[in-house]
Amino acid sequence: MTAKVILNPYSNRWNARKRWPEAESHLRSAGVDFNLAVSEGPGQIAELTRQALGEGFSPLIAAGGDGTIGEMVNAMAHTAGVGAPLTPLGILPLGTANDLAYALKIPFELGEAARVIAAGKISPMDLGKANDIYFANNSALGLEPYVTVIQTKITWIKGISRYLVAAIRAIMDRPKWDVRLEWDGGSYDGPVSLVYIGNGPRSGGVFFMGPHANPFDGKLTIVYGYRASRLGMFALLPKTMKPDSGSYVESAGMHEFPVSWLKVHLNNPSPAHTDGELFSTGITDVDYTIFPGLLQILMP
């Protein structure tokens, strides 16, 4: 069957558009029969995804970053209907962070990524949902999307460094939220600096916010915790970059564990994101669920 490549030229601050000729060459060399659609503005990725599904293309290939993948899988899931398996999805990692590709061990080198797509090996991957929005890699409230708000305003720094600068600025603001969390097996009432909901472990290219999250275990991994001082937050920052021993989730007051569902109520509004894209700059209630094995992903 013919694949549909949906290119987000804006990914990685227009670097995806510059790299498309290279990606196209690798796809053709790998023997992938495809048709190209290029997004021309906000919201069009979802529109192009729905159109591709209606025309019977398979697989769909996300040429962009985590936000591109997130917008595509959200459109795919809503088009298919609740609980229905999705059309296979391939990834050409053209974004800044490429966190989902990292979690799935999809090569960042475009020739190798094209060969993964050509091989056609499909694995059923879990898909998360925040209120009415499906996501592939992660979602968050509190400090992380607060960082996202800041980094979107930074135009003079490119690449991963932008996330690090934004994180430092966010910590200097010392934000705090009061929250009630409920999940299958427990609850928490009190202050938080962050609430991370991970299907994948990594966020922002360098931060392992849910280091034990696994997109194939049928669970969401949640992390929450609180630090009252800037010094306490800065002490955690380098530990968020450790995927294994020494992770910030091992620190006192930090909690990480798998859940099937999570209800979040914040007394003061927080920004919120799914797959790195803000869906609210001030929200108080979010319900999270997981759909095991819903996304058919092309991977090594």
Which of 49, 80, 74 is closest to 128 using CA atoms?
74
Cα angle: 166, vertex 63, 222; to 5 degrees: 50
Measured distance CA(71)–CA(67) in Å, rounded: 6
Measured distance CA(23)–CA(223) in Å, rounded: 36
Best CATH choice for the domain 3-120 from the list 3.40.50.1370, 1.10.3210.10, 1.20.210.10, 3.40.50.10330: 3.40.50.10330
Phi first, then psi: give them for residue 225, nearest 5 degrees.
180, 175
Q: Does this chain's domain 3-120 share its CATH topology with 138-292?
A: no
- pLDDT of residue 283 exceeding 90: yes
Domain layout of the chain by residue ranges: 3-120, 138-292
Bigger pLDDT: 19 or 168? 19
Question: Which spans in 152-216 are helix H?
Answer: 161-173
Q: Which CATH class for the 138-292 domain?
A: mainly beta
- Quick: pLDDT tens for 183-193: 998 999 999 99
Measured distance CA(213)–CA(221) in Å, rounded: 5
**What is the mean pLDDT of the segment spanning 7-23?**
93
What pLDDT is attached to residue 165?
86
- Quick: pLDDT tens for 231-277: 999 999 999 999 999 999 999 999 999 999 999 999 999 999 999 99
Q: At what angle do helices 66-80 and 44-54 cross, to 10 degrees?
A: 50
* Lowest mean pLDDT across 10-19, 68-77, 127-136, 221-230: 10-19
